A and B are shown apart, each in its own frame.
Chain A
């Protein structure tokens, strides 16, 4: 049988869809099943959090004391706690709190850390000296201890816990950005930008920042998971959310004395913490694979 080999030479046509670095990364990410699983988990939690008032007929802060510590049933899917409050209701309202704390604290620390890191890395010398030593001092404390100290100063509340977590994590992003800037500064395309007469501000915003975004996004996504854990830890210690707020860490701490009588009051908030943290970690790992230039070409 005569077989004809048709050689197909792929010629890129002028109207072919362009491939930009971000689009290529998105394509890689879509093929990563673990990352997609992470997205699904987080999407479900976001949906539950946003639609909480429509999903559950109960209020998160009021319960029937007659119904206290009831096991899971058709009326109360996750059972009720020591105040007779519906645990499912509290868990999904808690998702609002945890996602908000995770997201906003990371946004806060990323903005501050990126700003300081860009300054330290680009201008060097005494600017770098001051900023880097500041980071070193902050990193010398265990982060949760520093957060406790900040909350203790400001007074225990959810907002202050969010602020404390944001502050504590600034050096993580600051050092990351600084090291990216230090290596990018030596790249020829940055020198080329200088050679055509670009101002420092333009070099930083157009050339250095866009090329630093990938590691920031990856670390930031993983950082949301850490922030959620830290918020739960502060809540557990009574320094974060205050009763009757349905914060997961606070729920754990409130219910831990009933762990034998009513284990569902502890299991479900704990499981929620675990799942959201897992979800963000999966997304973060997927992003790292998709955005890391060393994995390509």
Chain B
């Protein structure tokens, strides 16, 4: 079953910048600029990049939690960008999201039972008794106890709350889960627990993950394939082994060279990038990375490199590598 569950084509999300007395549009922030990728059924696609590169916006706009400016998202054979608001609402039971901040993603005035029951109530699934039973089962599945159901979010630790967030996403038996930096807010020891839980659940329930993170080792641990984003664009996408062993794009190389190694004596060659990430409101022309790239050529400054397969499903957007 290697069928594509999710196909994202030319996804764009621009935010207008308004100014002046009359709120005229004076520019746009290109948070996500022409991103295309596919996620296969049952796999985990990691999406990495530094803060502000548009990975969360990508995740949210492909679920239409933020309306994309342009582009097409096909989920399980259905073009969801063309659905009406109500059709989309019904579609949501198949595609869920786990948020980054476990302290902000649970309503502080609802107890756990109410939080977990809500997806079932919204989609009219089961009787009240069945729903309560399922809530209790789900709490056990994510490693909590059924007596936690009556408690409120503030009575849990960050890791426990994240388990509740995962449980909420699982209540509807979704096909796809977008995990938006699900472990970034947690301690390292708790991170691995939550990651292992997510992997176990994937195996048992046949889930497909789009896993967004800025921590490369976390992504490597969980992903089958990894996409690297820079300034609103995907620059490289390959299966995780290839990407970590033979990164091609100069940005990916610099990024990987920054991963801390547990061995203090290991010989490391760090690639230090010069300068800052340019503003997405005024991105450089051509290849957006050309201002910081050590291998920059004249072509890079003027022509935007296509995102193309250079062999074996290794996609890259760089003029140094031609298909």
Binding site for B on A (CB under 8 A): 12, 14, 18-21, 187-189, 191-199, 202, 206-207, 210-211, 293, 297
28 contacts between A and B (CB under 8 A): A12-B155, A14-B147, A18-B111, A20-B111, A20-B152, A21-B152, A187-B104, A191-B60, A191-B105, A192-B97, A192-B165, A193-B118, A194-B65, A195-B92, A196-B92, A196-B93, A196-B118, A196-B119, A196-B168, A196-B171, A196-B172, A197-B92, A198-B118, A199-B122, A206-B110, A206-B118, A211-B107, A293-B108
Known: A189-B104, A198-B122, A202-B122. 17 other contacts (CB 8 A): A18-B150, A18-B152, A20-B152, A21-B154, A188-B100, A188-B101, A188-B105, A192-B105, A193-B107, A196-B92, A196-B93, A196-B168, A196-B172, A197-B91, A197-B122, A206-B110, A293-B108
- Report the Cα distance A210→B92, complex, angstroms: 24
- Report the Cα distance A206→B111, complex, angstroms: 12
Q: Please determine whether B119 and A197 come into contact, CB atoms closer than 8 angstroms.
A: yes
* A8, chain B: closest CB distance, angstroms: 19
- Report the Cα distance A12→B150, complex, angstroms: 13
User: Interface size (B, Cβ < 8 Å)?
Assistant: 36
* A207, chain B: closest CB distance, angstroms: 5
Binary flags per residue of B49-65, CB closer than 8 Å to A gives 1, else 0 = 00000000000100101
- Report the Cα distance A12→B148, complex, angstroms: 10
Contacts of A18 in B (CB 8 A): 111, 150-152
Contacts of A210 in B (CB 8 A): 107, 109-110
Cβ of B99 < 8 Å from any Cβ of A?
yes
Q: Please determine whether B99 and A192 come into contact, CB atoms closer than 8 angstroms.
A: yes
Binary flags per residue of B267-296, CB closer than 8 Å to A gives 1, else 0 = 000000000000000000000000000000
A196 in contact with B96 given A19-B155, A187-B104, A297-B154 (CB within 8 Å): yes
A195 in contact with B122 given A21-B152, A188-B99 (CB within 8 Å): no
Identify which of B89, B107, B145, B155 contacts A189 (C-beta below 8 A).
Answer: B107
- Report the Cα distance A14→B152, complex, angstroms: 13
Contacts of B304 in A (CB 8 A): none
Cβ of B219 < 8 Å from any Cβ of A?
no
* B111, chain A: closest CB distance, angstroms: 7
Q: Please determine whether B152 and A195 come into contact, CB atoms closer than 8 angstroms.
A: no
The 8 closest A-B pairs by CB, nearest first: A14-B147, A197-B92, A188-B105, A196-B119, A188-B104, A189-B107, A210-B109, A188-B99
- Report the Cα distance A146→B152, complex, angstroms: 45
